[in-house]
Amino acid sequence: MTSTATTLQALDGSRIDGGLYTTVTDFARHTHWLNQTALWWTSYGAVLFVLLLIAAWWRARRADAFAMAGAVCGFAAAAIAYLVNSGIKDLVAEPRPCRALPHDFLLEACPAPSDYAFPSNHTTVAFAAAVALLLIDRRLGVPAIVAAVLMGASRVYVGAHYPHDVIAAALVGTLVTIPVVLAGRRLATPAVERLRTGPLRPLLAAG
* 175 exposure class (CB count in 10 Å sphere: 0-12, 13-18, 19+): middle
What is the distance between the alpha carbons of residues 187 and 88, in angstroms, rounded to a whole number? 27
Instruction: Output Rg (C-alpha) for the chain, integer angstroms.
Output: 19
Position 186 scores a pLDDT of: 87
CB–CB of 106/112 below 8 Å? Answer: no
Position 124 scores a pLDDT of: 96
Residue 104 DSSP code: S
Contact residues for 54 (Cβ-Cβ < 8 A; gap 6+): none
What is the distance between the alpha carbons of residues 172 and 189, in angstroms, rounded to a whole number? 25
What is the distance between the alpha carbons of residues 51 and 76, in angstroms, rounded to a whole number? 15
Position 204 scores a pLDDT of: 66
Position 12 scores a pLDDT of: 76
What is the distance between the alpha carbons of residues 48 and 126, in angstroms, rounded to a whole number? 9
DSSP string, 155-203: HHHTTSS-HHHHHHHHHHHHHHHHHHHHHHHHHHHHHHHHHTTSTTHHH
Contact residues for 84 (Cβ-Cβ < 8 A; gap 6+): 124, 172, 176
Tens digits of pLDDT across the chain (207 residues): 444 444 444 457 778 788 898 999 999 999 999 999 999 999 999 999 999 999 998 888 888 888 888 888 999 999 999 999 999 998 888 888 988 888 888 888 888 888 888 999 999 999 999 999 999 988 999 999 999 999 999 999 999 899 999 999 999 999 999 999 999 888 888 887 887 787 877 876 776
Secondary structure (H, E, C), 27-52: HHHCCHHHHHHHHHHHHHCHHHHHHH
